[in-house]
């Protein structure tokens, strides 16, 4: 006997049916926003991931040397692959490109709540536009797809910030070591205020600077009004341009009816180094789970990969947290596998069964039949377990008179009909339910 590898999952038919339902709802919403689906290989050169994260990243990857001596990794995220494609095919593509994908990803990490070693992650990105309307599309698509799954503003919070703004703000305070501060701000929710202050002192900030940072971080709240307030207290050319674009995003999200979903929250920085502007995260309001979405603007990645300048904005959403949140709200579907019709047999009627199968399947029904030589009673039991809507009984005795029996399993109502009539037009006797 073999066991499943740590942090991986098996999906049995019923579970698969449920996931399929969730994924197709998500795909439907995204395609309504004009995104097209793409896919890339599950394996890539290791360098694709070490270029921005350094060699240490190998600890968190499923990486190995292939027979040609190349270092290969299973993809831990999709963005590098998509940007690789974009850079190499930029000449033939038309922009903006709105792409989405639901890849399987692998990360060699310790599994925890909402975190696995193999998982699915929805990615959507818009490439080629620096306009805030691209940011708006991405954020609203995220909100809309959650709404279509059954969430509302009492369940989720979209926390938005902007890295450039934070950077400008820190520069104005005379703080140069921007990334060090980001790292500490990113931790703020997990640590005490005292530790937070001590860490900032640890990177040589003075008390005045720390106080200013506190005030700035506490400016979180309703997106539009927070931005308005900021625009009054922080002047300067760099800042005001950023504020203008955030204001546009905020206003538009309000116009789309998403005012109560979005919060301005300058403590959102995201761990990833490649973000260059707007960043956002989606959390459950109770903060019971880790972030459901994370994303933002990453305008420099294409250049880092050796291509021309291609601005980009997007997000990723893992399926593990999504499932936890949907189960908590009781909106994760309890799907059952189902077929339209099961054919039970009595006696030697194989040729008649074959004809019936062919006819029914030709009309688009999902059909199955007994291949276990069970007695009638057990065939009926099995049909019930398959979730069949109809049971067709083909028996030697009735067949001598040209008849078969059709039972609707839900109601139990049963009719005897002519075999020939039935197989010449099965649709007139059945209702397709799937």
Where on the chain is the footprint of RNA (CB under 7 A)?
3-8, 49, 53, 57, 60-61, 76-77, 79, 107, 109-115, 187, 190, 270-272, 290-291, 294, 316, 346-347, 372, 374-378, 380-382, 384-385, 391, 393, 395-399, 405, 407, 409-410, 412, 414
Q: Are 398 and 405 in contact (CB under 8 A)?
A: yes
- Please state, in angstroms and rounded to a whole number, the distance separating the CA atoms of residues 122 and 316: 5
Reduced DSSP (H G I as helix, E B as strand, rest coil) percent helix, strand, coil of the chain, to 5 = 45, 20, 35
Beta bridge partners of 157: 283
Least distance in angstroms from the C-beta of 108 to RNA:
7
Which of 125, 247 has the CB closer to RNA?
125
Annotation-wise, does 251 bind a ligand?
no
Annotation-wise, does 121 bind a ligand?
yes
Annotation-wise, does 178 bind a ligand?
no
Which of 107, 283 has the CB closer to RNA?
107
Annotation-wise, does 77 bind a ligand?
yes
Which of 68, 412 has the CB closer to RNA?
412
Annotation-wise, does 120 bind a ligand?
no
Least distance in angstroms from the C-beta of 71 to RNA:
15
Least distance in angstroms from the C-beta of 352 to RNA:
11
- Please state, in angstroms and rounded to a whole number, the distance separating the CA atoms of residues 7 and 21: 23
Least distance in angstroms from the C-beta of 354 to RNA:
18
Least distance in angstroms from the C-beta of 228 to RNA:
29
Annotation-wise, does 125 bind a ligand?
yes
Least distance in angstroms from the C-beta of 140 to RNA:
20
Which of 5, 192 has the CB closer to RNA?
5
Least distance in angstroms from the C-beta of 381 to RNA:
4
Beta bridge partners of 283: 157
Annotation-wise, does 107 bind a ligand?
yes
Distances (CA, A) of 367 to 115, 224, 350, 386: 39, 56, 15, 11
Which of 241, 410 has the CB closer to RNA?
410
How open is the CA angle 66-53-63, to the nearest 5 degrees?
20
Alpha helices in 313-349 (DSSP H): 319-328
Tell me, what DSSP letter sits at residue 248?
H
Neighbouring CB atoms inside 10 A of 283's CB total 23
Which of 25, 405 has the CB closer to RNA?
405
Least distance in angstroms from the C-beta of 256 to RNA:
25
Long-range contacts of the stretch 52-58 (C-beta < 8 A, 24+): 52/80, 52/273, 52/274, 52/301, 52/304, 53/273
Which of 247, 318 has the CB closer to RNA?
318
- Please state, in angstroms and rounded to a whole number, the distance separating the CA atoms of residues 225 and 230: 9
Which of 33, 108 has the CB closer to RNA?
108
Helix (H, G, I), strand (E, B) or coil at 345: strand
| SS (HEC) of 91-148 | CCCCCCEEEEECCEEECCCCCECCECCEEEEEEEEEECCCCHHHHHHHHHHHHHHHHH
Annotation-wise, does 274 bind a ligand?
yes
**Residue ranges of the binding site for L-histidine:** 77-79, 107, 121, 125, 270, 274-275
**Residue ranges of the binding site:** 77-79, 107, 121, 125, 270, 274-275
């Amino acid at each position: 006997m073999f066991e499943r590898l740590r942090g991986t999952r098996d999906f049995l038919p019923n579970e698969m049916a449920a996931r399929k339902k969730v994924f197709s709802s998500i795909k439907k919403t995204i395609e309504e926003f004009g995104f097209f689906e793409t896919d890339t290989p599950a394996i890539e050169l290791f360098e694709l991931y070490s270029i921005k994260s350094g060699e240490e990243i190998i600890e968190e990857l499923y990486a190995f040397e292939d027979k040609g001596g190349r270092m290969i990794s299973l993809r831990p995220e999709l963005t590098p692959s998509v940007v690789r494609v974009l850079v190499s095919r930029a000449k033939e593509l038309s922009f903006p490109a709105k792409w989405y994908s639901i890849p399987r990803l692998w990360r060699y990490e310790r599994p925890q709540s909402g975190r696995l070693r193999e998982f699915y992650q929805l990615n959507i990105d818009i490439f080629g536009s620096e306009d805030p309307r691209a940011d708006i599309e991405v954020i609203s698509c995220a909100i809309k797809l959650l709404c279509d799954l059954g969430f509302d503003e009492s369940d989720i919070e979209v926390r938005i910030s902007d890295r450039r703004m934070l950077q400008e703000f820190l520069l104005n305070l005379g703080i140069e070591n921007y990334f060090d501060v980001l790292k500490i701000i990113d931790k703020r929710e997990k640590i005490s205020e005292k530790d937070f202050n001590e860490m900032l002192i640890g990177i040589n900030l003075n008390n005045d600077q720390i106080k200013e940072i506190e005030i700035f971080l506490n400016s979180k709240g309703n997106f539009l009004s927070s931005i308005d307030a900021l625009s009054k207290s922080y002047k300067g050319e760099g800042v005001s341009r950023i504020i203008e674009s955030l204001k546009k995003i905020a206003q538009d999200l309000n116009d789309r009816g998403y005012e109560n979903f979005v919060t301005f929250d300058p403590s959102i920085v995201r761990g990833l180094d490649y973000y260059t502007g707007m960043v956002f995260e989606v959390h459950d309001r109770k903060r019971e789970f880790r972030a459901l979405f994370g994303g933002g603007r990453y305008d420099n990645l294409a250049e880092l990969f050796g291509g021309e300048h291609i601005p980009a904005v997007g997000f990723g959403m893992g399926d593990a947290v999504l499932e936890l949140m949907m189960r908590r709200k009781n909106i994760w579907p309890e799907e059952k596998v189902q077929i339209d019709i099961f054919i039970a047999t009595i006696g030697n009627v194989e040729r008649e069964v074959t004809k019936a199968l062919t006819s029914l399947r030709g009309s688009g029904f999902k059909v199955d039949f007994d291949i276990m030589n069970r007695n009638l009673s057990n065939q009926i039991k099995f049909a019930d377990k398959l979730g069949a809507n109809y049971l067709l009984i083909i028996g030697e005795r009735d067949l001598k008179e040209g008849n078969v029996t059709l039972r609707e399993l839900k109601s139990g109502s049963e009719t005897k009909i002519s075999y020939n009539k039935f197989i010449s037009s099965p649709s007139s006797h059945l209702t397709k339910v799937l």
